Amino acid sequence: MSRQPLLKLEKFSVAYGSVRAIDEVCLELNEGEIVTVIGPNGAGKSTILNAIMGMLSSSGETWLDGKMLVKHSVSQMVANGLCLVPETRELFGSMSVQDNLILGGFYRFRKGMRDQEENLNSIFKIFPQLKERRNQIADTLSGGERQMLAIGRALMAKPRILMLDEPSLGLAPKIVYEVLQTVSSLRARGISILLVEQNARGALKIADRGYVLETGKVALEGLAKDLLNDQKMIDTYLGLGNSSNNL
Ligand SMILES: Nc1ncnc2c1ncn2[C@@H]1O[C@H](COP(=O)(O)OP(=O)(O)OP(=O)(O)O)[C@@H](O)[C@H]1O
Ligand SMILES: [Mg+2]
């Protein structure tokens, strides 16, 4: 039995004009894994997710289910079960929580699938706060609630691969913990997760494996538990202490 990665990048590069923001990155995401990509501001974390999603053009190879993609467009990636929660969240601000969620399932609806009600209820089970606030306008939600709505909306598409761009950004430590615990619980639902984070410790605590990106290149990679104990990681990204204010 061959166990091939669900998603594999080979010498994956992305350029803005003449500047290479992602430089020959190799990365694998196996079925059922949480893989985190961590690194400082400007390392290329958002760029790599946006390019995997087909929103930026890339060179190198992208493999899905052991097949190399010839075309690499957003619609194809959606059809292949990929979903991205971008750093900017992109909620429909003047619409209700429930309508935002329903729109997340629009692609399935258009394909003739009529399981929106059931999916909505399963999202409300994961995020009871969203159920309580289902008629509230998205723009009036707190930062943590907005993040939950953005994740909930992505889940309405029933993705196989969920890519999250800094879900902890701008949230209070207690809410960061809640959001990351929720991300961790999604693995049990059979969703494979590519998690971009600046909160290296928080991300590594819930991840199986991690990649450290520095100026577009993979500087370090390994099992999350090994990275948490790696001296270079501790010196550069994790600092001293076991939990401190960084989870
Ligand atoms: N549209 C763009 N045009 C030109 N350069 C860009 C563009 N978007 C990003 N860059 C550059 O590419 C590099 C990687 O940016 P990216 O946003 O991917 O970093 P990041 O790791 O997500 O950072 P952050 O943690 O701040 O979100 C940076 O040097 C950035 O200035
Ligand atoms: Mg970013």
Does residue 126 fall inside a structural domain? yes
Of the candidates 111, 136, 158, which is a domain's last residue? 158
5/126 same-domain check: no
Q: Quick one: 167 and 76 in the same domain?
A: yes
pLDDT reported for residue 173: 87
Whole-number Å distance, alpha carbon 109 to ligand 2 midpoint, is 31
> 74: domain range?
1-81+160-238
Instruction: State the pLDDT at residue 240.
Output: 61
HSE of 141, CA atoms in CB hemisphere, 13 A: 30
Cβ 212 under 6 angstroms from ligand 1: no
Report if residue 228 sits inside a domain: yes
Indicate whether residue 41 lines ligand 1 (CB < 6 A): yes
Determine whether the shortest distance from the Cβ of 168 to ligand 1 is under 6 A: no
Residue 11's CB: how many other CB atoms inside 10 A? 11
Same domain, 13 and 135: no
Among the candidates 143, 158, 173, a domain finishes at 158
For ligand 2, the distance from its centroid to the CA atom of residue 161, given in whole angstroms, is 19
Say if 10 falls within a structural domain: yes
Does 244 reside within a domain? Answer: no
Would you say residue 22 lies in a domain? yes
Judgement on whether residues 201 and 228 belong to the same structural domain of the protein: yes
What is the CATH number for 33? 3.40.50.300
Looking at ligand 1, which atom is closest to the CA of residue 216? 14
CA-43 nearest atom, ligand 1: 21
Instruction: Please give the pLDDT value at position 241.
Output: 52
User: Considering only CA atoms, which residue is closest to atom 1 of ligand 1?
Assistant: 16
**Identity (one letter) of the amino acid at 171?**
L
What is the mean pLDDT for each group of 10 consecutive residues in the chain (247 residues)? 84 96 97 95 96 95 92 88 90 95 87 87 93 96 92 94 93 89 91 94 96 96 96 83 46
Q: Is residue 88 part of a domain?
A: no
Q: What distance in angstroms lies between residue 31's CA and the mean position of ligand 1's atoms?
A: 28
Domain-located, residue 245: no
How many separate domains does the chain show?
Answer: 2
Same domain, 100 and 57: no
> Do 66 and 1 fall into the same domain?
yes
Q: Is 16 in the pocket of ligand 1 (CB under 6 A)?
A: yes
Last residue of some domain: 158, 176, 198?
Answer: 158
Same domain, 152 and 171: no
Indicate if 28 and 55 belong to the same structural domain. Answer: yes
27 and 65 in a common domain = yes
**DSSP string for residues in the chain:** -----SEEEEEEEEEETTEEEEEEEEEEE-TT-EEEEE--TTSSHHHHHHHHTTSS--EEEEEETTEE-S---HHHHHHTTEEEE-TT----TTSBHHHHHHHHTHHHHHTT---HHHHHHHHHHH-HHHHHTTTSBGGGS-HHHHHHHHHHHHHTT--SEEEEE-TTTT--HHHHHHHHHHHHHHGGGT-EEEEEES-HHHHHHH-SEEEEEETTEEEEEEEHHHHHT-HHHIIIII-SSSSTT--
Ligand 1 lined by 54 (C-beta under 6 Å): no
Regarding whether 111 and 50 lie in a shared domain, the answer is no
Answer yes or no: is 30 within a domain.
yes
* Dist. CA 153 → ligand 1 center (Å): 25
Residues 5 and 48 in one domain: yes
Residue 246's pLDDT is what?
46
